[in-house]
Amino acid sequence: MSADARRLRPVDVVIVGGGWAGSIMAKEMTEAGRSVVMLERGADRSTAADGAYPASLDELEANFRYRLFQDLSKNTVTIRNNSQQTALPYRRMSAFLPGEGVGGAGLHWSGVHFRMPPDDLRLRSRVIEKYGRRFIPEGMNLQDYGVTYEELEPFFDKAEKVFGTSGEAYMVDGKVVGNGNVFSPSRSDTFPLPALKDVYTAHLFRKAAAEVGFHPYSLPAANASRQYVNPYGVQMGPCNFCGYCSGYACYMYSKASPNVNILPVLRRHPLFELRPRCHVLRVEKDADGRRATGVTYIDAQGQVFTQPAELVILTAFQFHNVRLMLLSGIGRPYDPVHNEGVVGRNFVYQNVTTSTVWLDPKVETNQYIGAGGGGVAFDDFNSENFDHGPLGFVGGSPVWVNQAGVRAIAAANAGGPPGTPRWGSAWKAGMIDTYRHSLRIDAHGANMAYRDVYLDLDPTWKDAYGQPLLRMTFDWKDNDIRMNRYVVDRIGDVAKAMGARRTHLVRREFGVPFDTRQYQTTHLGGGAVMGEDPQTSALNRYLQSWDVHNVFVIGANAFPQGTGYNPTGMVAALAYWAAHHIRTTYLAQPGPLAG
């Protein structure tokens, strides 16, 4: 324990981070009769205050002054493209936008809510079965999760019911029940709510994709299509397509968030205590380092406390979980030179490019209408749904129109078609035409894990508390670029079928390094992955540290490689999966759950 820290009264469970994973774990642990303290470094937040209508619908404050996002002035990361470079601080929000405050990124996310495809969960095995071991490129760390779709299904189902997810099922209990995604696996139940209506651009995309021969389906959205009461008894209102999802607290109580769907119940529970504005510095361990004894944190007044606990659950954002493990000496840090160690290994991102299609100028595409999780997708080139053999790459990409609502500053910055200046009268004409008459199609691809892409602690820069920043070493690799280019060509076919007046296909280019200045997505993953081999995973298949058994680490950090889907549905299911095994096995007999 730290000598200068005030020692607090012990609790059963301390949870680090008040987002989706933290709120789910806190709910589950209080249900199991355990006392829980949840520490969140940001402010307390609620829809009533942070999603007030109409004042919260302020694009400048929400999307350009980052009202609900991480305070980079206190803590950021450093980034470089390869280990020969000096990593430099990520000083301004741009490529990715991590959250801060109660609800975490779950307050300002969009709401696309997927289950992980069964093949993605055992991607290494599947690729070897289909194409042979030599198909895996040199330097790619392809792995299985160590958990199957069948094992996770009840927890995917539970998360959808808690989130009030809207969608159309394809198959329930092995029987085709609806017009859902033909590539999706069988489910134990339908979605709790019917799919959202298609906005116009999604409607056009659905028609065109089907004409080309693909299999369009409604994106599963944690935006309620109708009024809904979840299993915890909290209510959601029907989404009105207001177009203010990403970056906002939903004023309609339609977008699922920890703040709407879990915390109203948790806050009233006598075993639960939330402490906002408490920044955890490290997990404390006992003398032999085999057991965690609690965490040390600093509050808004600068006072340092140690909170003793029997069980420590890390549920901060992906890279903050990895950093806390590195700062606390939990698990062996990854060494890319010798390819040893696990914490920081298999850091991955999401491989997204967005193409634009211009329609007839008589047609208004009304891009300001939208639901963050709504839209239409096809999965014909996602996961192992297609034959990679002749294509020679690993990974895939769903393709979709996910019109979450394009607002005015974003439209101005997006500008006109390629070749249009960024200002002046030509910009104005091109920008207005683009806003009124175009639509966007994403190739939302997977990013594979590589031996020389990883996280570690930066040797130079420190945060506001004097602790080293996390360092990202990341670049795009040819395998992933080839995958993107193949899938984007298929978007060209769909654009043609839509009767495009003009199409701008955006493909990832070979030799162009990852650019931290351009927004891409906040879907970061890996770095402390789950698996069945302690040589290649920091966590066992129950998301328990292999080395310190009373530390569980829940988040997208557990993904061994990227996936074509958005991460939140998988993170929520993993939280319920881990919680189930903690409740049924670990609490009665604390110790390693796998070994």
Residues belonging to the active site = 523
Quick check: 227 binds other proteins (CB under 8 A)?
no
CB of 250 to other proteins, least distance (A): 11
Burial 521-543 (b: 16+ CB within 10 A, else e): bbbbbbbbbbbeebebbbbbbbb
Binder of other proteins out of 131, 200, 232, 386 (CB under 8 A): 200
How many residues lie near other proteins (CB under 8 A)? 70
User: Could you tell me which residues come within 8 angstroms of residue 526 by beta carbon, excluding any fewer than 6 positions away?
Assistant: 318, 345, 346, 347, 348, 449, 556, 557, 558, 559, 560, 561, 562
Residue in 2, 86, 188, 303 binding other proteins, rule: CB under 8 A? 86
> Does residue number 66 form part of the binding site for other proteins (CB under 8 A)?
yes
Q: Which of 6, 7, 91, 130 contacts other proteins by CB under 8 A?
A: 91
Using left for φ > 0, alpha for ψ between -120 and 50, and beta otherwise, residue 273 falls in beta
Q: Which of 251, 381, 476, 546 binds other proteins (CB under 8 A)?
A: 251
H or E element at residue 306:
strand 304-314
CA atoms within 13 A on the CB side of 253: 17
- Of 123 and 431, CB closest to other proteins: 431
Of residues 540, 593, 479, the one with CA closest to residue 342: 540
Q: Beta partners for 294?
A: 284, 308
Residue 90 binds to other proteins (criterion: CB under 8 A)? yes
Torsion angle (degrees, nearest 10) of CA 129, 132, 134, 137: -40
Instruction: Select 428 or 451, whichever has its Cβ closest to other proteins.
Output: 428
From first CA to last CA, the distance across the chain in angstroms is 28
Q: Is 59 in the site for other proteins (CB under 8 A)?
A: yes
Contact between 429 and other proteins (CB under 8 A)? yes
Single out the residue of 97, 149, 142, 102 nearest to residue 121, CA to CA.
Answer: 149
Closest to other proteins by CB, 7 vs 65, is 65
Q: Does the footprint of other proteins cover residue 89 (CB under 8 A)?
A: yes
Number of Cβ within a 10 Å radius of residue 31: 12
When asked if residue 53 is in the footprint of other proteins (CB under 8 A), the reply is yes
Instruction: Determine if 432 is a binding residue for other proteins (CB under 8 A).
Output: yes
Query: Please, is 317 exposed, middle or buried when counting C-beta atoms within 10 Å of its C-beta (0-12, 13-18, 19+)?
Result: buried
Using only C-alpha atoms, the chain has a radius of gyration, in whole angstroms, of 23
Is 203 among the residues that bind other proteins (CB under 8 A)?
yes
Say how far apart CA 378 and CA 218 lie, in whole Å: 9
- Which of 383/516 has CB closer to other proteins? 516
- Contacts to other proteins from residues 482-541, by CB under 8 A: 513-517
Residue closer to other proteins, measured from CB, 198 or 379? 198
Cβ atoms of 261 and 568 closer than 8 Å: no
Stretch that binds other proteins, among 39-47, 48-56, 128-136, 317-325 (CB under 8 A): 48-56
Q: Which of 8, 12, 43, 71 binds other proteins (CB under 8 A)?
A: 71
The helix/strand/coil state of 281 is: strand
Q: Which positions from 454 through 473 interact with other proteins, judged by CB under 8 A? A: 460-462
Minimal distance in Å, beta carbon 430 to other proteins?
10
292-299 and 278-285 strand pairing = antiparallel
CB of 72 to other proteins, least distance (A): 5
Which segments within 219-291 are labelled E, that is strand? 228-229, 235-236, 272-275, 278-285
Interface residues for other proteins in 92-131 (CB under 8 A)? Answer: 92-94
Q: Closer to other proteins by CB, 3 or 55: give it.
A: 55
Q: Are 312 and 283 in contact (CB under 8 A)?
A: yes
Helix (H) or strand (E) holding 210: helix 200-212
* Residue among 161, 197, 291, 507 that touches other proteins (CB under 8 A): 197
Whichever of 360 and 387 has its CB closer to other proteins, that residue is 360
Closest approach of Cβ 588 to other proteins, in Å? 45
Among 82, 303, 422, 509, binds other proteins (CB under 8 A): 422
Give the CA dihedral 370, 374, 375, 377, nearest 10 degrees: 150
Stretch that binds other proteins, among 5-13, 39-47, 406-414, 542-550 (CB under 8 A): 406-414
Residue 408 in the binding site for other proteins (CB under 8 A): yes
Nearer Cβ to other proteins (9/517): 517
Minimum CB distance to other proteins smaller for 477 or for 541? 477
> What angle do helix axes 568-581 and 149-163 make, rounded to 10 degrees?
110
Total Cβ atoms within 10 A of residue 593: 18
By CB under 8 A, the residues from 343 to 402 that bind other proteins are 362-366, 368-369
Q: Which residue of 238, 264, 308, 590 would you call a contact of other proteins, by CB under 8 A? A: 238
Both tokens assigned to 421: 């200046």
Based on CB atoms, which residue is closest to other proteins, 423 or 510? 423
The continuous run of DSSP H or E covering 485 comes out as: helix 478-497
- For position 243 contacting other proteins by CB under 8 A, the verdict is yes
The strand pairing partners of 445, in sequence order, are: 351
Residue 79 binds other proteins (CB under 8 A): yes
Smallest gap from Cβ 119 to other proteins, in A, equals 33
**Of 384, 316, 372, 371, residue with least CA distance to 563:** 384
Nearest-approach distance from CB 567 to other proteins, in angstroms: 24
Interface residues with other proteins (CB under 8 A)? 53-55, 57-60, 64-66, 71-73, 76, 79-81, 85-94, 197-200, 203, 238, 240-244, 251, 362-366, 368-369, 407-409, 411-413, 422-425, 428-429, 431-432, 435-436, 460-462, 513-517
